[in-house]
Amino acid sequence: MSEDLSTMKSSYGIDFIKECQRNRFPLLFLDRITQLSPGTSADGLKCFTYNEWFFPAHFEDNPVVPGFVLLESMTQTFIMTFLSLSEYRGQETAFLTIREARFSRKVIPGDVLSTHAELERFRFGIAEGRVTGHVGEDIACEVKLSVGIPSKLLGLQPKRRTPEGNTP
């Protein structure tokens, strides 16, 4: 069901997101990609309802979206900037660094988190960039990320040599 990105659409649904990345329920925190420029940027949406699995425990009397969920939602938008490229589609990813994470507004049931991710650098299977999350006009959170594609990173490791000078 691979979508042809040469005919750009203004919105990509959950099927396309699942084709590009490996996150699945209950850890898929992205409902829609609203704008996509593969290799450059992505905009995403996550609509939080009280039925989310984490709300009863965080906190029952004053529910708030946990910080790790906000970070993961922003990261999932970010990885769409490079996993939407056909040669990387469906690849496994791994955090390398999370820097300058800031949370400036509580996100609660009924809020829609709108995320904007910019891919600043992508070389040797390492993606670096920044993501901002808004609720309405308010900045709710922002972060700088480095995410790797493990299969690409393994290919960069030098070959080990035995004492005899051979590669195993």
- pLDDT at residue 147 greater than cutoff 60: yes
* CB-side neighbour CA atoms (13 Å) of 148: 12
70-118 pLDDT, tens per residue? 999 999 999 999 999 999 999 999 999 999 999 999 999 999 999 999 9
Contact present, 78 and 119 (Cβ < 8 Å): yes
Supply the pLDDT for residue 1: 43
Q: What is the largest CA-CA distance in the chain?
A: 67
Closest to 3 in 3D by CA, of 27, 23, 19, 21: 19
Q: What is the pTM of this model?
A: 0.87
Tell me the helix, strand and coil percentages in the chain, rounded to 5. Answer: 20, 35, 45
Torsion sign, CA atoms 21, 34, 10, 26? positive
d(CA 159, CA 168): 8
d(CA 131, CA 143): 5
Superfamily of domain 14-153: Hotdog Thioesterase (3.10.129.10)
Q: Which of the residues 18, 58, 134, 152 is marked catalytic?
A: 58
53-75 pLDDT, tens per residue? 898 887 878 899 999 999 999 99
Query: Is 134 an active-site residue?
Result: no
Domain ranges in the chain? 14-153
